[in-house]
Structure 1
Amino acid sequence: MPSSSTAFASIRNIRNAVLIALATIGVAQAGTITIESWRVDDKALWENVIIPAFEQKNPGIQVKFAPTAPTEYDSSLTARLTGGTAGDLIACRPFDVSLSLYNKGHLENLNGKPGMENFPASSKVAWQTDDGKETFCMPVASVIHGFLYNQKIFKELNIQPPKTEAEFFKILDTIKANGKYTPLALGTNDQWESSQIVFTSIGPNYWKGEEGRKALISGKAKFTDPQFVSAFEYEAKLGKYLSKGASSQTYGDSQNLFALGKAAIYPTGSWDIAYFDANKKGFDMGVFAPPVPKAGDKCYISDHNDIGMGVNTKSKNKADAYKFLAWVGSQEFADIYTNKVTGFFSLSNHLITVKDPIAKQMIDWRKSCASTIRLNAQILNRGTPSMENELWNVNAQVLNGKLAPKDAAAKIQTGFAKWYKPQQN
């Protein structure tokens, strides 16, 4: 039988061993962070390119990318955040969805955090409180809208990319008169493209981008004003250049129509570049910015803040989460993300050499055109009827020739004024 001193020594050794084991487990946990995201399409890029680049410079920190299907992301993320089971880093939707998470205490305040200094004020607006005083997600990337075109068809018909509205309709008439190709690969079955790709792309040249958007928020402008009606009128004229079955044509149908070389022009969001790089058949693409109303007019582009990244307030490893976030604000990340996730453009001030030729042309528009975000993205979607849903429906009807431009503007304005006080004067 061992002596009492030996027994105590054994107990002490066991206790120390347990403490060491617990400490080791703690270190292992402290070195792991999880990223929540809806970007399931990018999973391989995160796991094989982005995360390894960070881990190489930050040995001891392991990063897990755990995306959720886009249609399920918002609800499932909220449930996990509420239940305390969400990841350490949160991919942030722009504006109200993430603002709601912040207001509920799920996202950290990022004011003054390392990396934030590399983003201009315009990049942060999608992830700030309405007064702009608190920022809760670091900007990551935006998407830009424009028009892809089939260079082979343009050469065959001896036409050039347009710069003005008049030039645009002239080449559309030329394509239509030829009869071999659909002028515009665009359908209205899914509705969202008519609003988020077409209206939000051509409209800023009429309402002068941020000037017009902010005028709606302040109540100084209405949708029934000429600059907004003009955008609907432009859209209505585009309707006659769609396929005969455009009302039943889906987004996927439009992609196929253009990829197979059966359509000359494709109204686009930059996220489509990667799809066509992989799927187009036998032709080179070009791209042009939304044509301005007349020669000499200042140009505006929809350069929409799309994705940011925040820190979960209940993260068990905030120290490493902030290290990753600081890296997201770096030149290295901006370069990787812009060139590997083609069509998503860094929102930072870093100078990036964009390698994809179409993506490079689109990001270069920032040098000559003023950037703006989607018209209704900030504040204007908070009431009933939902302006987002209304714009989908109204713009699809305008393209289909079922709703006159003035009536479209009146419908949006009436719904807007029902709940938004600055519009009730």
Structure 2
Amino acid sequence: MKTRNALLALMASTCLAGAAAAQDTTITIESWRNDDLALWQEKIIPAFEAANPGIKVKFTPSAPAEYNAVLNSKLDAGSAGDLITCRPFDASLALYEAGHLVDLSDLAAMANFSDVAKSAWQTDDGSATFCVPMASVIHGFIYNKDAFAELGLEVPETEDEFFAVLDAIKEDGTYIPMAMGTNDQWEAATMGYNNIGPNYWKGEEGRLALIKGEQKLTDEAWVAPYATLARWGAYLGDGYEAQTYPDSQNLFTLGRAAIYPAGSWEITGFNALAAFEMGAFKPPVKNAGDTCYISDHTDIAIGLNAASPNMEAAKTFLEWVGSEEFANIYANALPGFFSLSNFDVPMEDPLAQEFVSWRSECESTIRSTYQILSRGTPNLENETWGASVAAIKGTATPEELGQKLQEGLASWYAPQQ
């Protein structure tokens, strides 16, 4: 009899457990970041599920190059996941305008993000925000600390100091002063023009003035960075014109170059490859004491599929993505991808901490060409690649480059006409 009662009790408990499990809601996340699958499975999802019993999470990434096409076909077929990882600006705006993403403006966690942080996932007028910001990348310069110590160099803060450092490295001859090539073009604009440029056009002030048509690409603030880039060519080493992005990475991590114009996304890879200690410095200002500006570029966010059958569970997850706990987990697991939240998130990686510390010293902005200004033909982002290369090579004057870019933008963008 006791055995029978025990068996009945076991069956009852099993049924109850099965019923409880059946009540769990499972939400699925679409993403192009298949390189961080282990992070999601081992750190992010367990932390969320521990705090939110009853909600299970599946992270189902696609290959980066295929993500847009795969996601759009899933959305059209009604088979996409509950949560959509959002690329910045136009790709995600198109999803919102097509009715695929929910307006998340009323989400409580949105109060944890600045207007700049949210700008990549808003309508042009800022009336709707449709993705919760996750991370940004910051631009600056990574340098070989051993090389600087060997040559007795100090980290430069002004442009004059920057070029004095480059001159000293070049004169010594042990190291290539700066590792960057122009073969792939995008680096010249991304780690060149949009790295140093915000100090000239005063970050968001200039970027927004350009969008409104209140400033032009022929103005001094937009032309002057090309004049500075024109001075870089003398320090990039022999054959920089044919040097690819991987070539530049290798030159620096092998210890052959002293300085690398960088995005913070390089940190993890450089940590694994470089045998020397690295440091970072922010884009030098014109004069000591000037306000500094950094490109703190919005990179990745997450939104809610308007067709999700699990709206409440998905919103619970999004509120958590906007929390301090998520910010700490994500930013420290992927050094160089910094939380966009207003929380103070200390970095365990010293190089990452150096980059993110600039937020408290400088004004943050995003790349000048990414919002609105590259929707037409010619595409201002791509045109800026070519212009930055031409400036470094000296094949056109800064004024000629500004004039060409202005004419191209004005040809299709009404506020500049």
TM-score range for the pair, normalised by the shorter chain length: over 0.9
Q: What is the aligned partner in structure 2 of residue 300 from structure 1? A: 293
Q: What is the aligned partner in structure 2 of residue 222 from structure 1? A: 216
**Aligned partner (choices 303, 306, 310) of residue 313 of structure 1:** 306
Superposed CA offset, 1:110-143 (max 9, x none): 1212322222222211111111111101111111
CA distance in structure 2 between the aligned counterparts of 1:26 and 1:155, rounded to whole angstroms: 60
Whether 2:382 is the aligned partner of 1:389: answer yes
**Aligned partner (choices 297, 316, 335) of residue 323 of structure 1:** 316
CA distance in structure 1 between the aligned counterparts of 2:198 and 2:219, rounded to whole angstroms: 14
Secondary structure in 1 aligned to 2:411? helix
Whether 2:346 is the aligned partner of 1:345: answer no
Superposed CA offset, 1:190-218 (max 9, x none): 11111112111100001111111111111
**Aligned partner (choices 358, 372, 377) of residue 351 of structure 2:** 358
The root-mean-square deviation of aligned C-alpha atoms, in Å, is 1.7
CA distance in structure 1 between the aligned counterparts of 2:66 and 2:249, rounded to whole angstroms: 24
Residue type matched to 1:153 in 2? A
Q: What is the aligned partner in structure 2 of residue 144 from structure 1? A: 138
CA distance in structure 1 between the aligned counterparts of 2:151 and 2:65, rounded to whole angstroms: 42
CA distance in structure 1 between the aligned counterparts of 2:87 and 2:126, rounded to whole angstroms: 17
CA distance in structure 2 between the aligned counterparts of 1:113 and 1:226, rounded to whole angstroms: 41
Larger mean Cα displacement after TM superposition, 64-73 or 253-262: 64-73
CA apart distance, 1:286: 0.6
Q: What is the aligned partner in structure 1 of residue 252 from structure 2? A: 258
CA apart distance, 1:163: 0.4
Superposed CA offset, 1:298-352 (max 9, x none): 1100011111110011122222211111110111001111111111111112221
CA apart distance, 1:26: 10
CA apart distance, 1:36: 1.2
Q: Please show how residues 139-218 of structure 1 align to structure 2 within 5 Å.
A: 139-218=133-212
CA distance in structure 2 between the aligned counterparts of 1:98 and 1:26, rounded to whole angstroms: 34
CA distance in structure 1 between the aligned counterparts of 2:373 and 2:113, rounded to whole angstroms: 25
Q: What is the aligned partner in structure 1 of residue 42 from structure 2? A: 48
CA apart distance, 1:75: 2.4
Secondary structure in 2 aligned to 1:115? helix
CA apart distance, 1:382: 1.1
Q: What is the aligned partner in structure 2 of residue 405 from structure 1? A: 398
CA distance in structure 2 between the aligned counterparts of 1:65 and 1:223, rounded to whole angstroms: 43
CA distance in structure 1 between the aligned counterparts of 2:330 and 2:138, rounded to whole angstroms: 15
CA distance in structure 2 between the aligned counterparts of 1:309 and 1:336, rounded to whole angstroms: 16
CA apart distance, 1:296: 2.0
CA distance in structure 2 between the aligned counterparts of 1:255 and 1:421, rounded to whole angstroms: 40
**Aligned partner (choices 72, 83, 86) of residue 80 of structure 2:** 86
CA apart distance, 1:265: 0.2
CA apart distance, 1:24: 6.6
Superposed CA offset, 1:338-395 (max 9, x none): 1111111111122212211111111111111111110011111111111111111221
Residue type matched to 1:275 in 2? G
CA distance in structure 2 between the aligned counterparts of 1:112 and 1:79, rounded to whole angstroms: 28
CA distance in structure 2 between the aligned counterparts of 1:291 and 1:73, rounded to whole angstroms: 37
Unpaired runs of at least 5, structure 2: 1-14
CA distance in structure 1 between the aligned counterparts of 2:202 and 2:388, rounded to whole angstroms: 19
CA distance in structure 2 between the aligned counterparts of 1:403 and 1:50, rounded to whole angstroms: 49
CA apart distance, 1:243: 2.4
CA distance in structure 1 between the aligned counterparts of 2:170 and 2:80, rounded to whole angstroms: 52
Residue type matched to 2:264 in 1? S
CA distance in structure 2 between the aligned counterparts of 1:25 and 1:35, rounded to whole angstroms: 23
**Aligned partner (choices 284, 289, 295) of residue 277 of structure 2:** 284
CA distance in structure 2 between the aligned counterparts of 1:280 and 1:36, rounded to whole angstroms: 34
CA distance in structure 1 between the aligned counterparts of 2:339 and 2:290, rounded to whole angstroms: 27
Larger mean Cα displacement after TM superposition, 267-276 or 401-410: 401-410
Residue type matched to 1:337 in 2? Y
Residue type matched to 1:85 in 2? S
Residue type matched to 1:335 in 2? N
Whether 2:385 is the aligned partner of 1:416: answer no
TM-score with structure 1 setting the length:
0.91
CA distance in structure 2 between the aligned counterparts of 1:397 and 1:305, rounded to whole angstroms: 27
Larger mean Cα displacement after TM superposition, 55-64 or 192-201: 55-64
Moved over 3 A (4+): 23-28
CA distance in structure 2 between the aligned counterparts of 1:191 and 1:74, rounded to whole angstroms: 24
Q: Please show how residues 97-116 of structure 1 align to structure 2 within 5 Å.
A: 97-116=91-110
